[in-house]
Structure 1
Amino acid sequence: MEGLVNFLNDLAVGGSWFLPTACYIAASYCFITGAWGIWQQRQPQNPYVDRPWVPYASIVLAGVFAAFDRILTKSAHSANLDVQVSLNSASPTGYTGGVSPISGTGPHDAIIEVVKDFAMFFETFGAWVAFFAVLSWQGAMTGKNNRSRLGCICQFTLGVILLNPVKEANWLLSYWPN
């Protein structure tokens, strides 16, 4: 299990280093397409005749992507999670060999220990899920994909929930009988 935990933690570190780059690329894309859309509204071949709000929403989404860590932190606080998201640094955590993942008084403790071991991967995965939800919402807004806006909101909510997997695992396990 040590190798799997270390491998997934390394994937999480790589993903957390690449996420700020993806956010700034998405922010640049949204800003350029928003500015282009605003400019196109004065042209006769305006692609946003039936949706004049799309370029302005794209500019707002550029700000969302540029401040994505603060958006995730505020969303996590709204969900009553004690999470501070930072895209500036990744704090790698490794497997601690002295602690057995199957410890405690029963299966609840064993599941919590396994979730703690994989917590960094779940946190990074949750941030990426939220990132792709906002990106998909931008595509649905401009008509580039066929996603529903409610589906994007549900995906973003799942990403925020995954930011604190230990708290969510404790909540889920509270419904299981002892």
Structure 2
Amino acid sequence: MATLIDAAKAPDYPAEIVGVLSNRAAAPGLAVAAAHGIATASLAQSKFPSRDMFEDTMTQVLESWETDLICLAGFMRILGEDFVHRWQGRMINIHPSLLPAYRGLDTHERALADRATEHGCTVHFVTPGLDEGPAILQARVPVLPGDTPDTLAARVLVEEHRIYPEALRMLARGEVGLGL
């Protein structure tokens, strides 16, 4: 998220970060966004009687910011079909694997357990299936002898910070889309 904020500061960047929404009040990204003068909101799903009510409230907040595109970053909740369909083609996520490999959690541990020779990250469109949306960009990193989940994650993170702003740039310029 901080990388996207930094990228959007460039005068020729085609997107503006209008708000940061978290499902955790203590998320460090909220303070980062506030320090940059960006609107923030926190909504705990546990405070809502249903996921639909939680997601309806998220939509209200996003619409109040006149949001065009959503970039998920560390939002560790599976979103409902209605919410995903509402933002279809305008919501992207970054995932620490070369999708379709290693959907879900513990991607680095699983890649190492499988003795993969390369790993990486994917920016993809969000669809109702977990980590199943079409890829926009991927970056590969080698799995090195002696790698641990932490060392592999650190190299993948460098690539995440490189490709996520580029994928958002491409989407904001209309260079990629679900129908393109």
TM-score using structure 1 length: 0.27
Using CA pairs under 8 Å that are at least 6 residues apart, name the structure with larger relative contact order, 1 or 2.
1
Q: TM-score if structure 2 supplies the norm length?
A: 0.27
Flag the structure with higher helix content. 1
From the two aligned structures, give the one with the greater strand fraction. Answer: 2
Q: Which has the larger radius of gyration?
A: 1
